[in-house]
Amino acid sequence: MELTAYDLRQIRLIEKRLNLFECGKLNLFDLNYDLSGLLNALESVADSWIDDFQSETYTLEMILDCIEDRSIAKWQGNYKEDLLNAIYRLKNLTVSLLDEYLKKSDPKVVERAITESSNWFICPRCIDAWESDSLVAMVICPKCQCALHNPRTSNV
């Protein structure tokens, strides 16, 4: 599967927003708003993935609506558990998409991470260094979020 650099950034933003919510640094309203905008901005992601992701965001929207109109007491089941399950499934969808992308060499990417030592990479774009034991075809710079070929693999 191939992602554009733009979509890769959007997926990474989705992942960050979900993590912020889990850490209590983002409220449900902002998470729901952000996920909707990021999802609508995707250009090259498969429709089936978007549909799966959207169905999970509907749970967030329904819980948010019930909280806002003060009818959450009428929620069938445990809304907190349903919310956490939806977040878990959204994170799994996001991580799976990223993992699938990183497994294969992307021919549109021309740059390769620089090997600093056995466990360190340097990004040729932003000169940031990070520790990684990754053996998949592609890596993502944690600072500038660009995808790079992994110098430990010979898939280029």
What pLDDT was estimated at residue 155?
A: 56
What is the rounded CA–CA span in Å between residue 3 and residue 42? 10
What pLDDT was estimated at residue 141?
A: 95
Task: Label residue 137 exposed, middle or buried (CB < 10 Å: 0-12, 13-18, 19+).
Answer: buried
What pLDDT was estimated at residue 111?
A: 95
Radius of gyration of the chain from Cα atoms? 18
What pLDDT was estimated at residue 1?
A: 65
What pLDDT was estimated at residue 140?
A: 95
What is the rounded CA–CA span in Å between residue 126 and residue 119? 18
What is the rounded CA–CA span in Å between residue 145 and residue 148? 9
Name the pTM for this structure: 0.87
SS3 for 44? coil
What pLDDT was estimated at residue 38?
A: 96
Per-residue pLDDT of the chain (156 residues; tens, 9 = 90+): 678 989 999 999 999 999 999 999 999 999 999 999 999 999 999 999 999 999 999 999 999 999 999 999 888 889 999 999 999 999 999 999 999 999 999 999 999 999 977 889 999 999 999 999 999 999 999 999 999 999 998 654
What pLDDT was estimated at residue 57?
A: 96
In Å, how far are 11, 16, 40 from 37, measured between CA atoms? 12, 14, 5
Q: Are the C-beta atoms of 150 and 135 separated by less than 8 Å?
A: yes
The pair of structure tokens assigned to 46 is 């498969």
DSSP, res 129: E
